[in-house]
Amino acid sequence: PTRREGGRRVVELVAAPGESAFLDGVVTPTWGYGPMAFGGPTIRARRGEDVVVRVTNRLPGTTTTHWHGMTLPARMDGGPHQPIAPGATWEASWRIDQPAATLWYHPHPHGRTERHVHRGLTGLFLVDDDVPVDLPDRYGVDDVPVVLTDRSFAADGSFDESRRNAVGLLGDTVLVNGTVAPYLDVRTTRVRLRVLNASPARSYRIAVDAPTTLVGTDGGLLPSPREVPDVVLTPGERAEVVVQCSPGRRTVLRSLPHDLGAVNGVARAAGGDDTLDLLELRPAGRLERSPALPAVLSRETPLRERAGARTRRFVLSSNRINGLAMDMTRVDEVLEPGATEVWEFVNRHTLPHNLHVHDARMQVLGEPAWKDTVAVAPGTTVRALVRVGPYADPEVPYMLHCHLLRHEDDGMMLQFLVV
């Protein structure tokens, strides 16, 4: 949906109801960013590019479109303060200025985010930059999006929105890029998977029986590749992995059981016991040789904890942060543009939560991976360095919230100004 217009990249999205066929002979009513009936087109832009996105709302209710992971002015963020009424078009424009990363977009209307995302409104937003890195980069060939969502289907074929538990809507069927039980024809010795957990509540521990290297996380590439047995992704998180394939040897990308740290059987209820097949990799009998993985992926300076850095503490309890429920009229924190702070996320609750910060790029202390969403298991504290974005606005806030969307909707969200 993108075109160049006077030096700018212009993208048109239409959020609208539609119909999809996930199961044989069954029609499922869905919402999508047109032309897609479910999901959304992948948007791609380069660092330094000026982007204009026009979102038209053809849904029965008000929505918003948020650019998750993007560094941009608060008015363009697409959070709860940028509503798009039915029939209206909202225009967001900004200059892309951040390193290459796998970002995404989704609705963020306060109190209704889970419903809007669950009905299908989700797309990828890939940021490229000019620093050459020799990773597989042919989109759809050896650089493949893997958008994970889970759904349960009601008897009439519609998405079941009734079976919520403490973490939110959990499905028994995984859709990968909107497809049930998908496979990928692999033609190269290495394939890069850009995995996004777009599920409302489910966490995955992804693993494949083949050498797997983590090359990137939410906010960009790692300093150097890291071989990993698996990667845990809570809702909203991304991972870029490179899988080494052998000619003719089929393997399956799976989600394995993992410890959510939850107590009182909540882990089981939250899907922590489930084993799920996600994507079958089907390498051809002869494979084109991919280049070796580079030793250095990114030369970006990691964040450093400076003496005297401001520390903020966020205590998580049931649908509350620091005892507060989201209030659109209250400003909870005021930050300085470009500041680097230390944030402590303290989970005093029996449920797993994860914390997503708009506009900022984070690194968990001692970890060089760029994050915008971090998991915080029950009873644990996560300390992260947070680099605030450069844009000041004395009126319009950004959000900090749990990305288990039901928790967000139930008030587990605060607002901060950057001034």
Report if residue 108 touches ligand C2O, rule: CB under 6 A.
yes
Nearer to ligand C2O, 136 or 352 (CB): 352
Q: Work out how close the CB of 179 gets to ligand C2O at its nearest, in angstroms, rounded to a whole number.
A: 22
Nearer to ligand C2O, 254 or 371 (CB): 371
Report if residue 406 touches ligand C2O, rule: CB under 6 A.
no
- Residues binding Cu ion (CB under 5 A): 68, 353, 358, 402, 404, 407
Contacts of 159 (CB under 8 A, 6+ apart): 28, 29, 30, 118, 119, 151, 152, 153
Q: Work out how close the CB of 176 gets to Cu ion at its nearest, in angstroms, rounded to a whole number.
A: 22
CA distance 147 to 159: 18
Contact 228, 197 (CB under 8 A): no
Contacts of 133 (CB under 8 A, 6+ apart): 100, 221, 294, 297, 298
Q: Work out how close the CB of 77 gets to ligand C2O at its nearest, in angstroms, rounded to a whole number.
A: 8
Using the contact rule CB under 6 A, the part of the chain among 56-64, 267-275, 307-315, 397-405 near ligand C2O is 397-405
Omega prior to 229 cis, within 30 of 0 = no
37: partner contacted, choices ligand C2O, Cu ion, none (Cβ within 5-8 A by kind): none
The token pair that represents 297 in the structure block = 């992926």
The token pair that represents 204 in the structure block = 């995955």
Binding residue for ligand C2O, selected from 254, 358, 406, 407, defined by CB under 6 A? 358
Contacts of 388 (CB under 8 A, 6+ apart): 335, 336, 337, 338, 339, 340, 341, 359, 360, 418
Contact 244, 287 (CB under 8 A): no
Nearer to ligand C2O, 119 or 403 (CB): 403
Using the contact rule CB under 6 A, the part of the chain among 55-63, 254-262, 291-299, 399-407 near ligand C2O is 399-407
Helix (H, G, I), strand (E, B) or coil at 335: strand
Kindly report the CA angle at 118 between 44 and 350, in degrees rounded to 5?
110
Burial of 265 (0-12, 13-18, 19+ CB in 10 A): exposed
Contact 373, 404 (CB under 8 A): no
Using the contact rule CB under 6 A, the part of the chain among 141-149, 166-174, 374-382, 395-403 near ligand C2O is 395-403
Q: Work out how close the CB of 403 gets to Cu ion at its nearest, in angstroms, rounded to a whole number.
A: 8
Binding residue for ligand C2O, selected from 205, 320, 401, 406, defined by CB under 6 A? 401
Nearer to ligand C2O, 236 or 378 (CB): 236
Sign for the CA dihedral angle at 60, 67, 45, 282 comes to negative
Q: Work out how close the CB of 203 gets to Cu ion at its nearest, in angstroms, rounded to a whole number.
A: 11
Contact 415, 326 (CB under 8 A): yes
Nearer to ligand C2O, 57 or 199 (CB): 199
Using the contact rule CB under 6 A, the part of the chain among 138-146, 244-252, 325-333, 396-404 near ligand C2O is 396-404
Report if residue 353 touches ligand C2O, rule: CB under 6 A.
no
Q: Work out how close the CB of 1 gets to Cu ion at its nearest, in angstroms, rounded to a whole number.
A: 21
Residue appearing with tokens 């959304």: 40
Q: Work out how close the CB of 106 gets to ligand C2O at its nearest, in angstroms, rounded to a whole number.
A: 6
Binding to ligand C2O (CB under 6 A): which residues in 54-73? 66, 68
Q: Total residues contacting ligand C2O (rule CB under 6 A)?
A: 10
Contact 238, 195 (CB under 8 A): yes
Kindly report the CA angle at 373 between 274 and 258, in degrees rounded to 5?
20
Binding residue for ligand C2O, selected from 169, 174, 376, 399, defined by CB under 6 A? 399
Report if residue 238 touches ligand C2O, rule: CB under 6 A.
no
In the complex, the residues that contact ligand C2O under the rule CB under 6 A are 66, 68, 106, 108, 236, 356, 358, 399, 401, 403
